[in-house]
Amino acid sequence: MSKHTPGPWTVEPPSEQTPHIWVNAPTSSGVAKIETCNYDGQGERLIDEDFANARLISAAPDLLDALIMVRDADEDCRQDGLPTIPAPARAKIDRAIAKAEVRS
């Protein structure tokens, strides 16, 4: 399994040189180029949606790290007989980690 590009990932807004929103990383420029295919009916791109998508994508490495920490802490609690995360929440955490690690 390949690993993702290390974070932190940042959002670079459009400029005259680059008309798209880019998600960049310290070791790679252009982790993702964001441009929605939705238009407002008048031919205008939905730039707010583009930025929302870019922010979510740029948060992905941090979110994955946080979910793994929560999962590991939950396992420690389970082994020590302490209260754990409710089963539906834990299942959702496990699915999200599996999806990010291509095990879904």
Q: How far apart are CA 69 and CA 71, in angstroms?
A: 5
N-term to C-term CA, the chain: 13
**Position 83 confidence tier, pLDDT thresholds 50, 70, 90:** very high
**Position 42 confidence tier, pLDDT thresholds 50, 70, 90:** low
Convert the pLDDT of each residue in 1-34 to its tens digit: 567 888 888 898 888 777 788 898 888 767 888 8
Q: What pTM was computed for the model?
A: 0.76
Determine the average pLDDT of the residues in 38-65.
Answer: 80
In 3D space, the residue among 25, 21, 23, 20 whose CA is nearest the CA of residue 7 turns out to be 25
